[in-house]
Structure 1
Amino acid sequence: MNCKNCGHIVEGEYCNHCGQKSNVGRITLSSLLNELIEDIFQIDRGFFYTLFQLFTRPGKSIREYLNGKRRKHFKPIAYLITFSTIYFIMSKMVGQNTWMDDLISGFAEGGSNEEEMPEILTWFSKNYAYTTLLLIPVFSFASFISFWGAGKNYIEHLVVNSYVTGQQAIIYSIFTVLKKFIGGELFELLPVVVAVCYAILVFWQLFDNGNRMKILLRSLLTYVLYLILSLGILIVIIGISEITK
């Protein structure tokens, strides 16, 4: 058997060359949860390597992780939680709203007086990292449907979008600081545009063996489905919270 990380011959449970486990298989829900429990607090394990790779060759790097080259990578859900938390703290430190704050405020203003905002929306706004974690399955379902037949199962889409969302949190953090010190209406919409373009780049590189125009359209469809699903779920949650008051 050859190691999926470095390609050397493996005779035992671990590769003698790179140290990765020899029985690395396709990602499942069970393996994803085990990795989360084992590695969520181990920031030193592949943290900066993953950060660099996701900026320079994001889709290709994630594909390598899905295919078994995982030794050097920081785990996806831990990566997401880490940078979502950093983004939230940074936003509060510089006195700026997160993109979720702005979205929820806009939703509240469009439906009713902001003072009457449902408690569940307030919770979403104040718990950015948890809310982001809760939205990952929704976005992943949208990308899974959009890229149906492209060779990736739903759990693998969870991994892809955990990395994407973690990296998007870095993008939002950078623009949060720029907005604080530079200001201007440009920084209202630009962070969202850049974040969406980053996700499209990831899909573009991840599915690089398909029709390029179809990949672009599927990427855009992912966001359309995500918005529809999120809005539907949000309306249901608000309805339930109002009924149970």
Structure 2
Amino acid sequence: MSKYCQNCNAQLSGNFCSNCGQRSDTHKINLHFLWHDIQHGLLHVEKGILFTVKELFTRPGHTIREFLQGKRVNHFKPISLVLVLAGIYGLLSHYFEINLLSNNIEITGSGEKFEQAKSTVENMSTWISQHYSVFALLQIPVFSIGTYLCFRKAGYNFIEQIVINAFITAQKLIVHIVLFPFYYLFNNTPYLKTTARLTDVIGYAIAFWTIFQLFNMYGYFQRTWRTLLSLIIPLIIVLLTLLLLSKFILN
């Protein structure tokens, strides 16, 4: 039985497609795929990064679906992309001493417990700023819970949902990097908080567009509420986690 390339549909006769160069065996997306992706991201930066960025801001849902189906040869791998972008953003934030998380969290009150809570939050935000690649990776499984629960009938396993949300995380990081000149301009002013919140709104708008376009097997109304819910669920998880942490800190 003839075998065809998952990327360009050309007939295969060896380990690589003679037309586009993709491997004939694209492998299922699983834990081994993610581990190889992380190793690759730590050692290589390839030409596919510009193509992937362009696709993520012109036809994001379609390109992620095609990646999951096997069209991968032209793409920069998602976890690698997050590592590279988070590294760039973390380096910029550290060098220019810009901490968006610290500026977005307000703790009011007085007394020893509040001072302790304030100190803990400041230390935590500083750690995140200095280890942004780790923080970016830790966000991905949390956001994957939302899309996994809301779009289970689409047939993607949880590891594939991690790939989806790695691409979405990359989109958000690119928005942060593009708007970084404004962070620098408004640093240590009240406008920094406003700019950071505007960036969050842009990031969630792009995420909505991506998820809505990706899961086109659902009807328009179902896609709309499922997409909204998939973005709300991770926020609830984060909020509950912060509430538990605050109780632990203040007790």
Q: Tell whether the 8 Å contact from 2:128 to 2:135 is kept in structure 1 after alignment.
A: yes
* Cα root mean square deviation, aligned: 2.7
Q: Residue 176 of structure 1 corresponds to which residue in structure 2?
A: 180
> In structure 2, the residue corresponding to 1:210 is in which secondary structure?
coil
Q: What's the offset of the Cα at 1:135?
A: 1.7
Provide closer, same or farther for how the CA distance between residues 53 and 135 of structure 1 changes in structure 2, counting only shifts above 3 A. Answer: same
Q: Residue 141 of structure 1 corresponds to which residue in structure 2?
A: 145
Q: Residue 211 of structure 1 corresponds to which residue in structure 2?
A: 219
Deviations 1:17-50 (A, max 9, x none): 2221112243111122123223443212411111
More displaced stretch, 46-55 vs 145-154: 145-154
Provide closer, same or farther for how the CA distance between residues 45 and 236 of structure 1 changes in structure 2, counting only shifts above 3 A. Answer: farther
Q: Tell whether the 8 Å contact from 2:212 to 2:223 is kept in structure 1 after alignment.
A: yes
Structure 2 segments unaligned to the other structure (5+ residues): none
Deviations 1:33-81 (A, max 9, x none): 1232234432124111111111111111111111101000001001011
Deviations 1:126-184 (A, max 9, x none): 32221111121111112211222122221111111111111111112222312433784
Q: Residue 76 of structure 1 corresponds to which residue in structure 2?
A: 78
Q: What's the offset of the Cα at 1:115?
A: 2.4
Q: Residue 31 of structure 2 is aligned with which of 25, 29, 32?
A: 29
Deviations 1:198-240 (A, max 9, x none): 0001011111231122222222212221022223345556778
Matching residue's letter, 1:167: Q
Q: What's the offset of the Cα at 1:120?
A: 5.0
Q: Normalising to structure 1: TM-score of the pair?
A: 0.85
Whether 2:136 is the aligned partner of 1:132: answer: yes
Q: Normalising to structure 2: TM-score of the pair?
A: 0.83
Provide closer, same or farther for how the CA distance between residues 186 and 71 of structure 1 changes in structure 2, counting only shifts above 3 A. Answer: same
Distance 1:165 1:79 in 2: 9
Identical-pair percentage: 30
More displaced stretch, 228-237 vs 172-181: 228-237
